[in-house]
Amino acid sequence: MGTRRRTLGDVMTPPVYLDHAATTPMVPEAVEAMVEQLGRAANPSSLHASGRAARRAVEESRERVAAALGCRPGEVVFTSGGTEADNLALKGLAWARRGQDARRRRLLTTAVEHHAVLDPLEWLATAQDFVVEHLPVDAEGALDLDAVARALAEPDEVGLISVMWANNEVGTVQPLPEVVAAAREHGVPVHTDAVQAVGVLPVDFAASGVEAMSVSAHKVGGPHGVGALVVRRDLELAPLLHGGGQERDVRSGTLDTPAVVGFAVALELAVVRREQHAAHLAALRARLVEGLRRVVPDVVLNGPDAPEWDTRRLPGNVHVSFPGCEGDSLLMLLDARGIECSTGSACSAGVPQASHVLLAMGRDDDAARSSLRFTLGRPSSEADVDAVLDAIGPAVERARAARL
Amino acid sequence: MKVLAAMSGGVDSAVAAARAHDAGHDVTGVHLALSRNPASYRSGARGCCTIEDSNDARRAADVIGIPFYVWDLSERFHADVVEDFMDEYAAGRTPNPCLRCNEKIKFAAVLDRALALGFDAVVTGHYAVLREGADGLVELHRSVDAGKDQSYVLGVLDQHQLRHSLFPLGDTPKTRVREEAAARGLLVADKPDSHDICFVADGDNAGWLREKLGDRAPNHGGAIVDDETGEELGRHEGTYGYTIGQRKGLRIGTPAQDGRPRFVLDIEPVAGTVRVGPRERLAVHGLEGIRPRWCGTEPTSLQGTVQLRAHGAEHRAEVEVSGHGADQRVSVRLLDPAEGIAPGQAVVVYDGSRVVGSATISATHRSPAGASA
């Protein structure tokens, strides 16, 4: 029944992990800080000495997070992560703003947001009688500013505008300053999902002019299950979680002190090391893209290309389409060789859907399904990139033959 | 060998994958996502394409210790199986979507992709036996557990497909498979068997067809007619609600003159007529088949047995094959008459326990002489 072939299953260790946009390993400093906290039993809301110590750790972390993100400590609301921060910002703002003025039913966003933004908005539209408008992007995934201006022509009806800082799939940096300028003119609050930007781009909340910003710990070398919504104090926000009134009554629930401490340590380091880190990623990105083009000449880089990618693309993102391949097949073939990446598409029940981001960029279903996303991180090396370049040629050949 | 285990989330495919792994094969588990919108398909333990089933398959792969992926075959499945199912019913035939799925999806789309990706075979939890015959061909046989035998739904596989298939459960009774699953720590050990049609969410085929076909069916509504007298006995809302041999739910107001129950004898989709009559007129003594598929060498004539539905009885039969290629036809004389046989169903031909091949029933004969009823 055939001879043994060498392509699948020849697992090499350690794996070449190139999915850092999904999550990235914790930095040792954050692990140490967390472990120290994990040994203590204290609720930061308790009034005794142990409680005060935990509260102090939380508040010091809040101050470190604030310093790293360019906001005031009082503007940091700790959440369970980026998804909760997005939900709190969007639902909390939409409800509060409509409560102030019933005409504010229109919610503006881009067609390329993460599902943690798209889906709460969709729910607000279907269950809460809001109207969501998905503003178009260009072929590189950047928001169409004319469309923003048109959508803001009737600002009295607009509840909010949510525009991600940088795209998680194709790495495109959005023209957020222009969006903020346009929205400010009309008094419309801006929320941004900055989950992918923190640690690689200069992210300063106050300087950005946005009203609310979502961040996540595990994308910057911190633990899973913690993040923050940075939100201006003058902004009214309806809470999602009601209970003990923690986090200035916006987000009830006992704070996870070890996670908050780990988050702060990791975020602080990520911001301190940002420039050096970004340069490291950008050099590897250039090596990977150049190599992929050499090995697979018809490969298509999705999103901004050199030299504009220095300012318009996340330095660690390489999102490529391999014409004639299924991304799923490629992922499996590379996985079998110990190379871990993503198809860059949303997965529910593991059923891959064609990426809404690529479709919004005007690519067809085939292009969307033929993509892989490699995202570089702190531990990534030239050897990792070269392992991909060694494996990708045969994998593409096989995947083309296997196309359904 | 490098083998791809198709894992439905049920106990059979989990144990099959585990056995292939034990046998030293390099096994990768794959769950086939057959619907873009899993919630619209059957929920709970009855089907094989829900989110829960996907998770069950994933956990089984974890326990076995093999990589696991979900393959999206929803478009192919819809085009090749679901559409075909609707078209066949609209034409007044009674298709078997499981055979169709095996022929077009599991042992075609999936197998082709697996071979191209560097696998040598596909392993499934079907109850059937593969063995190499004297002529070097791979033979498909009935499983040892007669109650679970699934060789019928595999009767569409050709030599190429059989050569790249593994059915590790064919030598084992189902009860032992469940015991083995429990011993292996597979949580699906006591999960109920799937049955019926996986894409009909509530098991109500007629309701599903009514909703999907709607006015598209040329047979939307018509008369229920006494086959002997031609008298209209009632009306129906679509012939797809009826199967030849059906007795219940005919909604006929007047009883038969002899007081005996009446059965669906024939369905005329274009006219929209459902013909009913007494049980003895259901007996089929012969049938014609089209689109034959042969597991190995094509026979010209054969004395053997045929099976006419999944888990149906064996009928002694004389089989004649005529013509070639797309025009090839199969004529079957049934020595043991059968009841409730409808065009569109598959006739699978056996020589002893060995599957010779299959064909799609195009016509049935109600008299031993072979005249069409």
Please spell the DSSP secondary structure of B185-237, one letter per residue.
T-GGGGPPPP-S-TTSTTS-HHHHHHHHHGGGSTTSSEEEEETTT--EEEEES
Share of chain A above pLDDT 90, in %: 90
Can the peptide bond before residue A315 be classed as cis, meaning omega within 30 degrees of 0? Answer: no
A352 interaction partners in chain B (CB closer than 8 Å): 70, 72
Residue B25, pLDDT > 50, answer yes
Considering the domain architecture, whether residues A309 and A340 belong to the same structural domain is answered as yes
- Give the span between the Cα atoms of B373 and B365, in whole angstroms: 5
Which CATH number does the domain housing residue A238 bear?
3.40.640.10
Query: In chain A, which residues have their Cβ closer than 8 Å to the Cβ of B51?
Result: 348-349
Quick check: B2 and A5 CB within 8 A? yes
Q: Are B190 and B182 in contact (CB under 8 A)?
A: yes
Residue A351's pLDDT is 59
Q: Nearest-CA residue of chain A relative to B26?
A: A9
Q: Which residue of B has its CA nearest to A400?
A: B116
Q: How much is the mean pLDDT over chain A?
A: 93
Distance of CA B252 to the CA centre of its chain: 31
Task: Check B38 against A351: CB less than 8 A apart.
Answer: yes
Q: Is residue A267 part of a domain?
A: yes
Asked if residue B46 has pLDDT above 50, the reply is no
Contact B54 A399 (CB under 8 A): no
Choose among B26, B72, B113: nearest Cβ to A351. Answer: B72
- Residue B63: both structure tokens together: 């326990």
Residues A62 and A173 in one domain: yes
Cross-chain CB nearest to A332 (options B1, B36, B69): B69
**CATH number for position A283:** 3.90.1150.10
In which band, very low, low, confident or very high, does the pLDDT at B372 lie, cut at 50, 70 and 90? very low
Question: What is the residue type of A217?
Answer: A
Task: Answer with the one of A216, A237, A272 that is the final residue of a domain.
Answer: A272
In a domain, A121, yes or no: yes
Q: Is residue B45 scored above 50 in pLDDT?
A: no
Minimum distance, in Å, between the CA of residue A401 and any CA atom of chain B? 6
Of B351, B361, B344, B340, give the one whose Cα is nearest residue B318: B351
CA distances in angstroms from B54 to A327, A332, B24, B261, listed in the order given:
20, 17, 25, 45
Is pLDDT above 70 for A7? no
CA distance to partner chain B, nearest, from residue A120 (Å): 20
Gap between the Cα atoms of A372 and A71, Å rounded: 36
Chain A: residue whose CA lies nearest to B114: A402
Of B1, B31, B113, the CB nearest to A404: B113
β-pairing verdict for B26-33 and B2-6: parallel
Contacts of A353 in chain B (CB under 8 A): 36
Full residue range of the structural domain in which residue A385 is found: 16-25+274-401
pLDDT band at A349 (very low <50, low <70, confident <90, very high): very low
Nearest-Cα residue of chain A relative to residue B113: A402
The region of weakest confidence among A129-133, B89-93, B311-315 is B89-93
Smallest CA–CA distance from B136 into chain A, residue: A1
Interface of B with A in 245-264 (CB under 8 A): none
What are the chain B neighbours of A399 within 8 Å (beta carbons)? 117
B121 touches chain A (CB under 8 A): yes
Is A10 inside any structural domain? no
Quote the pLDDT of residue B373. 42
The mean pLDDT of B219-245, rounded to a whole number, is: 83
Check whether residue A192 and residue A56 sit in a common domain. Answer: yes
Query: Which uninterrupted H or E stretch holds A181?
Result: helix A176-185
pLDDT at position B253 is 67
Evaluate if residue B357 carries a pLDDT over 50: yes
Q: Which of residues 21-80 of B touch A (CB under 8 A)?
A: 26, 28, 31, 33, 36, 38, 51, 54-55, 58, 67, 69-74, 76
Q: Are residues A238 and A216 in the same domain?
A: yes
Stretch among A156-170, A177-191, B38-52 having the lowest mean pLDDT: B38-52
Give the pLDDT band (50/70/90) at residue B246.
Answer: confident
All structural domains of chain B, each given as residue ranges with its CATH number in brackets, are: 2-190 (3.40.50.620), 218-281 (2.30.30.280), 283-365 (2.40.30.10)
Q: Which of A248, A272, A296 finishes a domain?
A: A272
Q: Show residues of chain B in contact with A335, CB under 8 Å.
A: 67
First vs last Cα of chain A: how many Å apart?
A: 23
Using a CB-CB distance cutoff of 8 angstroms, which residues of chain B are in contact with residue A402?
Answer: 112-114, 116-117
Say yes or no for a CB contact (<8 Å) between A328 and B76: no
| pLDDT over 80 (residue A8) | no
pLDDT reading at A11 higher than 70: no
Rounded to the nearest angstrom, the minimum Cα separation between A356 and chain B is 15
Sorted by sequence, the CB contacts under 8 Å of residue A13 that are 6+ apart come out as: A338
Contacts of B311 (CB under 8 A, 6+ apart): B147, B149, B152
Residue A54 counted as domain residue: yes
**Catalytic site positions of A:** 347
- Whether A345 shows a pLDDT value over 60: the answer reads no
Give me the helices (H) in A10-144, please: 28-38, 49-69, 82-100, 115-128
**Segment among A59-63, A116-120, A165-169, B337-341 with least mean pLDDT:** B337-341
Same-domain check for residues A60 and A21: no
Out of A7-21, B91-105, B176-190, give the one with best mean pLDDT: B176-190
Q: Name the residue of chain B whose CA is nearest to A399's CA.
A: B117
pLDDT, mean of residues B148-165: 96
Average pLDDT in chain B: 88
Are A294 and A145 within one domain?
Answer: no
Residue numbers of B annotated as active site: 101, 198
Q: Is A394 helix (H, G, I), strand (E, B) or coil?
A: helix
A260 lies in the same domain as A364: no
A7 and B118 in contact by Cβ < 8 A?
yes
pLDDT tens-digit profile of A75-103?
999 999 999 999 999 999 999 999 999 99
Q: At what angle do helices A257-272 and A28-38 cross, to 10 degrees?
A: 160
Q: Does B136 touch chain A (CB under 8 A)?
A: no
Cis omega before residue A177 (within 30°)? no
Contact A350 B58 (CB under 8 A): yes
Q: Can you tell me whether residue B262 is helix, strand or coil?
A: strand
**Largest CA-CA distance found in chain B, in angstroms, rounded:** 67
Residue A182 and residue A227 share a domain? yes
Q: What is the pLDDT of residue A353?
A: 72
Question: For residue B113, which residues of chain A lie inside 8 Å, CB to CB?
Answer: 329, 402-404
Cross-chain residue pair B117–A402, CB shorter than 8 Å:
yes
Our measurement of the distance from residue A399's CA atom to the centroid of its chain's CA atoms, rounded to an integer in Å, reads 29
8 Å CB contact between B197 and B97: yes
DSSP string for B34-80: --SSGGGS--TTSSS-SHHHHHHHHHHHHHHT--EEEEE-HHHHIII
Q: How far is CA B186 from CA A62, A203, B68, in A?
A: 46, 48, 15
pLDDT above 60 (res B41): no
pLDDT value of residue B271 = 79
Using CB atoms, pick whichever of B1, B71, B117 lies closest to residue A1: B1
Report the pLDDT value the prediction gives residue B36, as an integer from 0 to 100.
67
Q: Are A106 and A180 in the same domain? A: yes
* CB-based contact, B137 to chain A, within 8 Å: no
Q: Does A345 lie in the same domain as A216? A: no
A393 vs A292: CA distance, rounded Å: 9
Give the per-residue pLDDT at B294: 97
For residues A35 and A100, membership in a common domain is answered with: yes
> For residue A1, which residues of chain B lie inside 8 Å, CB to CB?
1, 120-121, 163-164
Judging contacts by C-beta atoms under 8 Å, the chain B residues touching residue A4 are 1-2, 120
H or E element, residue B355: strand B354-365
Does the structure show a pLDDT above 70 at A3? no
b/e code A87-97 from CB counts within 10 Å (16+ = b): bbbbbbbbbbb
Q: What percent of chain A has pLDDT over 70?
A: 94
Q: What average pLDDT does this structure show over B312-319?
A: 96
Domain total in chain A: 2
- B113 with A402: Cβ contact below 8 A: yes
DSSP string, B278-324: EGGGG-EEEEEEEEEEESSSPPSEEEEEEE-STT--EEEEEEEEES-
Interface of A with B (CB under 8 A): 1-2, 4-5, 7-9, 328-329, 332-333, 335-336, 348-353, 398-399, 401-404
Q: Quote the pLDDT of residue B301.
A: 95
Structure confidence at residue B227 (pLDDT): 87
In this complex, the residue of B26, B31, B109 whose CB is nearest that of residue A404 is B109
Residue A7 lies in a domain: no
> Which of A243, A272, A301 finishes a domain?
A272
**Angle separating helix axes A274-295 and A382-401, nearest 10 degrees:** 40
User: Which pair of tokens denotes residue A290?
Assistant: 């150049």
Residues of chain B neighbouring A333 (CB-CB closer than 8 A) = 117-118
* pLDDT value of residue B44: 41
Q: In Å, how far from its chain's centre is CA A114?
A: 7
Is A11 contained in some domain?
no
> At A55, which amino acid appears?
R
CA A328/CA A151 separation, integer angstroms: 37
Based on the domain organization, do A394 and A316 belong to the same domain?
A: yes
Select the more confidently predicted residue: B325 or B12. Answer: B12
Pick the more confident residue, B28 or B200: B28
In this complex, the residue of B58, B67, B114 whose CB is nearest that of residue A335 is B67
| Residue from the list B54, B118, B163 with its beta carbon closest to the beta carbon of A398 | B118
- Point out the residue among B70, B118, B119 whose CB comes nearest to the CB of A351: B70
Kindly report which listed range (A4-8, A76-80, A379-383) carries the lowest average pLDDT score: A4-8
Considering only alpha carbons, which residue of chain B is nearest residue A10?
Answer: B26
Domain-embedded: residue A288: yes
pLDDT average, residue stretch A28-57: 94
- At A200-257, the pLDDT tens digits run 999 999 999 999 999 999 999 999 999 999 999 999 999 999 999 999 999 999 999 9
Q: Does A6 map to a domain?
A: no
